[in-house]
Structure 1
Amino acid sequence: MSGRPWSKAFIERARPEALVEVRAAIAFLENGLLADGRDWLLNTPQVSSVDLEAIWPLHWLFGMPGAIPAEVASKETFPKVFAWVDRFSAVVGAARKKNGKAKALKGFEAAEKIWAAAWAEGLRGVDERDPVGLSAGQEVLVHPTDSGVTHKDRGTLVGLDGEEIVIEVKTEKGTVRVHAPRHGFRVLAAQEETKL
């Protein structure tokens, strides 16, 4: 997928180093961002998107029995981080209870809803000072830099800044906006495709 082996032997050899990295991230949260006893990372009254972005790997790992051995991280060694993850789980559980079960959609049903929907956000525009030198309305290609580089999304550039790339793509049913983060994605003028 991204150039590294995924054999059982490789994963077993890489596990100790991975656990070192996970423990370092947990320690950073415990002794840095959560050190003052706050409930949420930005000291907000409720969970924010910052918490969501930071918490998901830990929430996922803590939910897998045996993924993080107790000698690497536990409620005893990192009480603030584990309490933060527990608070998040409680918020998610309350939201699920309040909102009920999500309706499952088939792919074509989801596509119909997307095509029928209004734009959810305003555009920040294209930063003309961006180092890649692209302009609003220019035909561009967007693709990940780590894997999947053989498929490039083609569209009209409508948003570009240090955080995000937004292109409009015409389909049979209308126009959709495709968003990609700047980190890990490349955007280039469509005519540059043959140069790379």
Structure 2
Amino acid sequence: MSQPILHHYPLSPFAEKVRAILGFKGLRWTSVIIPMIMPKPDVTALTGGYRKTPLLQVGADIYCDTALIADVLERLAPTPTLYPAEAAGLTRIQAQWADSTLFWTAIAYSFQPAGLQSLFGNQPPEHMKAFMADRAAFRGHNAPRLRVPEAIGALRLYLEQLEAQLADGRPWLHGKATSLADFAVYHPLWYIRRQATGVAGILGEHRRVTAWLDRVEALGHGTSEKLESGEAVALAASSKPVSTEGEAFLDLHGLARGERVTVAPTDYGIDPVEGELVLSRPNEIAVRRVDERAGEVVVHFPRIGFQVQKVA
């Protein structure tokens, strides 16, 4: 496989999760900086409409959602593993909780006045207005919504629980070995600590959590080189997707390989991606599509959190 390309922007917490995993695995990777808000024409060329950040590109294969990206990076570099044998199932469960419940709690907590000042204080007012309008459309009616008082109470409780998880002196959340849970729990707290600095004092009340955050950050981001987004689209056009011929096909929708379908998130950013269904594994689905700029690409999604529908 060619060198992985991460499409991201510096302030994205989910992108920080993947950057930290790349550091943990010591991988060389290519960095493509994409816009924070729409329009994102190069992203659209690659994905067909999916707009969450980040994306991982390997040639003409495009991987969406950090849960799946983590599995792809595990395939690229099995050692060190994100899924240590003694806690492989538990780390996935805690990671899923962190990517949903903890993430939205951290976002609601950060968007109180002092946090917004840290996030947007140096930006012109129109920048914040455009960002908030973009995110309102992005979230729609499905994303969780917490008021600040509830977010403060929930985050304080979660931090106490994480402090207790680390109370026996373990270096990582599930013991002596780093796992995916560490990176999934890390990125919402990183957002508070490094971006919403005006409200980051709550983290300092939990010394074990703070020391653990330091250990995750110390893993770094690996070694990267820069590429323009248009060049990444051209690279996809000059590549071929990895063949899925001969792969076992898990039918959960009464659909056959090759049928025209849409795939969309079930929570927020629910823009559907239309294509030919070419892959259906227990944890992954993928569609083939053709774009006038990106050429033939295969866009991959995790099973959990996405729905597949046949095109009428």
Which TM-score applies when normalising by structure 1? Answer: 0.68
Q: Which residue in the other structure is 1:17 paired with? A: 150
Q: Which amino acid aligns with 1:55?
A: Y
Match of 1:85, SS state, is: helix
Q: Is the 8 A contact 1:166 1:177 kept in 2?
A: yes
Higher helix share: 2
Cα distance between partner residues in 2 of 1:19 and 1:188: 38
Quote the residue 2:260 is aligned against: 139
Which residue of structure 2 aligns with residue 109 of structure 1? 231
**Partners of 1:19 and 1:120 in 2: how far apart?**
46
Deviation at 1:178, TM superposition (A): 1.2
The answer to whether the 8 A contact 2:236-2:295 is kept is no
- Structure number with larger C-alpha Rg: 1
* Paired residues of 2:264 and 2:306 also in contact (CA < 8 A): yes
AA in 2 matched with 1:90: A
Aligned to 2:184: 53
Aligned-residue sequence identity (percent) comes to: 31
**2:168 aligned residue (11, 30, 36):** 36
* CA displacement at 1:26 relative to structure 2: 2.2
Please name the residue that 1:86 is paired with. 214
Give the corresponding residue for 1:187: 308
**Number of positions where the alignment pairs a residue of Structure 1 with one of Structure 2:** 169
Whole-Å Cα distance in 2 between the matches of residues 145 and 43 of structure 1?
Answer: 33
Gaps of 5+ in 1: 5-10, 192-196
Residues 84 and 15 (structure 1), Cα distance of their counterparts in 2 relative to 1, 3 Å cut? same
- Give the aligned partner of residue 168 of structure 1: 288
1:66 pairs, out of 198, 223, 227, with 198
Q: State the shift of 1:109 in Å.
A: 0.4
Q: What's the Cα RMSD here?
A: 3.2
CA distance in 1, matches of 2:272, 2:170: 42
Any idea what SS the aligned residue of 2:279 has?
A: strand
- For 2:244 and 2:181, the matched residues in 1 are separated by 21
TM-score (norm 2): 0.46
The answer to whether the aligner puts 1:155 opposite 2:278 as a matched pair is no
CA–CA separation in structure 2 for the residues paired with 1:120 and 1:52: 28
